Amino acid sequence: MNGKLYAVIMAGGVGSRLWPRSRTGTPKQFLDLLGSRTLLQETVARIEPLIPLPRILVVVSRELAAEVHSQVPGLPDENVLLEPGPRNTAPCIGLAAVVLQQRDPAATMAVFPADHSIAQAAGLRQAIAAADRLARRGYLVTLGVTPDQPHVGYGYIQRGDPIGDDDGLSAYRVRRFAEKPDLATAQQFVESGEYYWNAGIFVWRVDRIRAEIERCLPALHAELDHVGAAWGSTRQSEVLAGAWDRVPRISIDYGVMEKAAQVAVLPVNIGWSDVGNWATLSELAEEDGHGNAVHGQGRHLLLDTSDSYVYTSAGRLVAAVGLAGWIVVDTPDALLICPKDRAQAVKEIVERLKAEKQDQYL
């Protein structure tokens, strides 16, 4: 399997913005938010025609490992990497790189968040294959989603000079990464035609990312070296746990990509969404003639209701009158009612529940 392309799916996230469906024990990536399959299952299914299961790794917490095996039967045990705790993306990716490098020193790895939605799976695979070719030339490649609106919830990537390619590939060197902008800045970005959304999907050779981690995050690199030395031995878990006590909590974007050499952006138009909150999700859901999307196993009865998203639970009935632009998420033990344009406030609800130690609802 020398020099093969691997997938690394990061499934350790515990977001709060899709509460009350997303909970500590079943975060967003494990939920069937947009169809009959979960976001993790969709992530695997999209990439599997290009990268078969034996070359797909999932990084997840110990608590959620059983859920991964249950949702992705056939995934080899050794392909589920157990992170001792959440440390943001740089340590997570570093761990996968260390493990892959031992299996296949010339490997390339494509990194995917487990909880995004991509409508055009064939387009994604085509882009990953192209990115793989760039990666083999030494580039750290990030997919850049062509923006269709001045979204303020995403990070942006500004392109620089084009990168030549025999296949007529339209990739660019990255000029800079930009944090989530304000609306005016986002509008400038979109109008310029030079900016892309940072989808958090990366492709690179494992030796290249390890070298950049060494240069940009030497403390993380040192810990990863310890982990690598103990990997496969009886001390593996112990060394990993110790390293994870010390590694910096930092994102790969901020910690590495912004400073690394030979960074490329590959523009894509593949129907990508981070499914970041209930309003985003409702945009992806199929709507009836009144702009309503109704999901779930329960019943509903909507009078004079439009442009709303309703989730119902088995055995329960949601009856509503006069909703326009609302989100209603009715789970067995908790109900959310929120205007679509206040979807970000769900995060505040979860923080309040944490502060009040209402753990049963988290």
Q: Among residues 20 and 255, whose Cβ is nearest to its own copies?
A: 20
Minimum Å distance from CB 275 to its own copies? 19
Instruction: Considering the complex, state which of residue 269 and residue 297 has its C-beta at the smaller distance from its own copies.
Output: 297
Question: For 165-197, b where at least 16 C-beta lie within 10 A, e where not — what string?
Answer: eeeebebbebeebbeebeeebbeebbeeeebbb
Task: Sort strands 299-303 and 272-273 into parallel, antiparallel or unpaired.
Answer: unpaired
Rounded to the nearest 10 degrees, how much is the dihedral formed by the CA atoms of 111, 181, 150, 203? -10
The distance of closest approach from Cβ of residue 28 to its own copies in the complex, given in angstroms and rounded to an integer, is 17
Shortest Cβ 289–its own copies spacing (Å): 18
Residue 303, burial from CB neighbour count under 10 angstroms (0-12, 13-18, 19+): exposed
Closest distance of CB 353 from its own copies, Å: 7
Min separation Cβ 327 and its own copies, Å: 9
Q: Which is nearer to its own copies, 166 or 356 (CB)?
A: 356
The residue (of 65 and 345) whose beta carbon lies closer to its own copies is 345
Extract long-range pairs of 324-327: CB within 8 Å, 24+ residues apart.
Answer: 327/278, 327/279, 327/282
Binding site for its own copies (CB under 8 A): 20, 299, 301, 303-304, 315-323, 326, 328, 330, 333-339, 342, 345-346, 348-349, 352-353, 358, 361
Tell me how many degrees the CA angle 131-12-81 measures, rounded to the nearest 5: 75
C-beta of 241 vs 337, nearer to its own copies:
337
Q: How far apart are CA 283 and CA 307, in angstroms?
A: 10
